[in-house]
Homo-oligomer: A and B are copies of this chain.
Amino acid sequence: MAQLLRVQNFNVSSDGVAAGEDQTFERPFGHVDPERLFSWAGATASWPRRTEPGGSRGLDDYMTRDFGNNIGAEIMGRNKFGPQRGPWQDHEWQGWWGDEPPFHTPVFVLTHHERPPITLSDTTFHFVGGEPASVLERAREAARGKDVRLGGGVTTVREFLDAGLVDTLHVAVSPVKLGSGLRLWDSPDDLLDRFHLDVVPSPSGVTHHLFWRR
């Protein structure tokens, strides 16, 4: 079985914005209120961060339930891991997720600045440099036959798309216009030269875009 590189539950506005440009500790998504893009996922029963019982089990739940299905490793950009830039000043920083990160696999954090790995519960963060293709090779090895999730942020997703490394891509487009910020695309049609696309409107109001490599 091929080991896919999969983007899962990636959220953008109707005009393609995934995050603000002004990330801080207080505002991981900059000026963009993530609730406006993520609320469909938080309403589902299988949302990894859910702490209370209940939640919907319709279409959106298939999307959140698939988050960890056959995933053996994640690759994420440094800006998903934290708001720091440049050399690490603060080795105390262990990501946004507390003692129980929702990944449960090795995670490869892209950075030009070395740092020892961190293990929190069943997630280990490795800090790695190099080209996307070589990072993917390391992640595939760590995934032991399972797929690799490309976790974002938007700059990282675009980098791996540009390198032709992404096999499947799930993007949830919310019915909210943001105007400015970091964009995944001008239009979903930008990817149609390389991907098939199913466009699936959900009763929740988001439109799931499911791409797979031609």
Contacts and interface: CB of A to CB of B under 8 A. Distances in A.
Interface stretch (A22-30, A63-71, A98-106, A125-133): A63-71
Nearest to A167: B57
B58 A196 contact: yes
A192 interface: no
Given A56-B196, A57-B168, A196-B56, A62 B210 contact: yes
A79 to B, nearest CB: 28
Interface stretch (A81-89, A178-186, A198-206): A198-206
A90 B37 CA distance: 58
A200 B59 contact: yes
Contacts of A168: 57
Nearest to A69: B69
A66 B62 contact: yes
Contact of A198 (B65, B202, B210, B212): B202
Contacts of A199: 203
Nearest to A170: B62
Interface in A172-191: none
A85 B57 CA distance: 37
In this complex, which of A66, A167, A210 has the most chain B Cβ atoms within 10 angstroms of its Cβ? A210
A212 to B, nearest CB: 4
Nearest to A197: B58
A52 to B, nearest CB: 13
Given A56-B212, A62-B210, A66-B69, 10 more contacts: A45-B212, A57-B168, A57-B196, A58-B196, A58-B210, A59-B208, A62-B63, A65-B70, A69-B69, A198-B202
Q: 5 tightest A-B contacts by CB?
A: A58-B198, A57-B212, A58-B210, A59-B198, A62-B62
